[in-house]
Each structure stands twice: as structure tokens, then as C-alpha cells.
Amino acid sequence: LLVSKEMSIRSGNSLKLFEMTEYTYDIPILAVIGEEYFRGGDKKYSVKRTYNGWGNVTYEFDSKTMLKSEITYYSHSKYKNLINQKTVYNYNPNTGLYDNRTITKYSYDLTIGKPVTIRINDGIYISCIFFVYDGYGNLQTKTEQNILPDTTIKELVTEITYDSVMHAFPEKVVLKD
């Protein structure tokens, strides 16, 4: 299914097409598999996606930024949308190659389906985010670590305290570095 969104500019009694976006849908999975962007009648860029059987994006290419992304998911009987790893490839116009990539790896507490660790590595810098949850599944502590090339670790900790009645509403948020 192809759907268009158009933006026109009125000049006197006539309309001139200024921008148009075309979306291509995969109806069985209710997902956008392609987007094409036009300005002044010329195609400027496009975005293409592929999906797995659960409707999760597994590949994306954006011709405007020249970024390619590959995403894998955990195989789990209950959760079907938990990302295992996302790899983003950056295009280098000087070499004509995708010679730089950023890999993001996730690990989860599968009893609640929430992340406990996210590790981002671009080959130079490493960032890690650690999550701790209370007995109600609320985020209690988030620790963000950046490991610099000289192995210096910079850390930011966020601690959240929730109300004692519903255990759902944050009462206090403390940032520590």
C-alpha cells in the first residue's frame, strides 16, 4: 500500500507542490517498509526497513544520513521485542566505505522484561548504563559510565524514590556524579 503526504504552497489561484512524502506499507504486519522524500518534485532521500515475523525492525537504511542499522532480538517465549544488539554502520564519504560502527548490546531481567545493562561501543569510547529496579518494577537506580580512551571512568548515578502508597509516583530524584 502506497500513501502520500503532500505539502503545497498557494500562489494566487494555483497550488504548487512543495514537499511530498510517500510511505509504503506492509499491510500484514502493519509497518512502514519504505519512505521516500521529495522536495520541488525531486527525490531527496529514502528510508527502507525490513522486519522479522513479530513486526520488529531488523534492518534500516537511510539514504540521507547513509546510516545502516542491523537489529537482533532476544528469543524469549513471552517477550518478542527485546533488542539483543543494534549495530549502526557509519558511511565515510572519504573512503566510500562503511568503516565505522557503533554496537549497542542489551541484557535484561527477563522476569520483568526490562534492561539491566546497555553497553555502547564505537571502537573508541565505551558507555555502559546499569539499571536496578525495586520490587514493583520501578527504576530505582540508573548508573551511566563513560570509559574514555585513557581508561578514565566518568560516572553519573540517578537514584529515584517512589511514594510509599502506590509505589508508582517518583517523590525524589537524586543525581550524583
Helix, strand, or coil here: 148? coil
Closest to 89 (Cα-Cα) out of 124, 57, 56, 61: 61
Phi and psi for 28 in degrees, rounded to 5? -55, -35
pLDDT of residue 159: 97
Q: What is the pLDDT along the chain (177 residues), one digit of tens a residue?
A: 778 887 877 778 887 778 899 999 999 888 999 999 999 889 999 999 999 988 999 999 999 999 999 999 998 888 889 999 999 999 999 999 998 899 999 999 998 999 999 999 998 888 999 999 999 999 999 999 998 878 788 999 999 999 999 999 999 999 998
What's the DSSP call for residue 129?
E
Say if CB 59 and CB 52 are below 8 A apart.
Answer: no
Pairing mode, strands 67-73 and 114-121: unpaired
State the Cα–Cα distance between residues 94 and 76, nearest whole angstrom: 42
State the Cα–Cα distance between residues 3 and 18, nearest whole angstrom: 17
Handedness of CA 89, 67, 75, 51 (dihedral sign): negative
Q: Which three cell numbers stand for residue 23?
A: 510511505
State the Cα–Cα distance between residues 38 and 62, nearest whole angstrom: 14
**Which residues 6+ apart lie within 8 Å of 161 measured at CB?**
170, 171, 172, 173, 174
Closest to 8 (Cα-Cα) out of 45, 44, 38: 38
Q: Which three cell numbers stand for residue 36?
A: 521516500
